[in-house]
Amino acid sequence: FPGGSVTPDTLPPCDVSVLNASRLAELAVGALPSRRAGFVGIGGGSDPVCDLAGASARLLASCVREPVHPSLMHELSKSFFLHALIRLVHLDDPLGYAVYRRVSLMYLAQIAANAGPASDQADGEQASCLLACVSYHDSSAYASRGGDEGNAPDVEGRVPAALGRDRDRTASGAAGPAM
């Protein structure tokens, strides 16, 4: 921001939602071991992982129809991938993993599509790191299914073919997967 500082008050609500959703998703993944330790969730619930992930998903749902600043694309992609991990590890839901993973990769692809010669090297490094994480967990999920592609969940038609630049997704009802 020329001549001023950035505060939460100066950011668009959608961008604030992305940042908050990303932090909540990180906390949810961090809370994965809490179930074994007997911690109590938000509002006295019995599952803090689902409580935190649900709060993150509600924030993500509130902003997927709006344009997000390109500098937040990595946070958005990471949030969806963390939800994929929660689905796979905590809920044993391979279909949910595949759906959230696909949405994450769509946003990750936008980072590459928006990259130009003057783009920040850190963006490319973050995108590469996230892609490596996705690849690692894909191979783990594949191995846990016996290495048979026929056992992979079918996600065709469960997520929009393309999210992103054409913000005309509201007509198709593409609000991202529900948590």
The per-residue pLDDT for range 101-123, each reduced to its tens digit, is 888 988 888 887 776 655 566 66
Q: Which residue has the tokens 């065709």?
A: 156
Does pLDDT of 133 surpass 50?
Answer: yes
CA–CA distance, 40 with 37 (Å, rounded to integer): 9
Contact in structure between 25 and 90 (CB atoms under 8 Å)? no
| Threshold 0.75, pTM exceeds | no
pLDDT of residue 141: 77
Contact in structure between 72 and 125 (CB atoms under 8 Å)? no
Does pLDDT of 173 surpass 50?
Answer: no
Spell 53-84 as b/e; 16+ CB within 10 A means b: bbbbbebbbbbbbeebeeebbbbbbbbbbbbb
pLDDT of residue 179: 42
Does pLDDT of 79 surpass 90?
Answer: yes
Indicate if the alpha-carbon torsion angle 124, 86, 102, 14 is positive or negative. negative
pLDDT of residue 37: 56
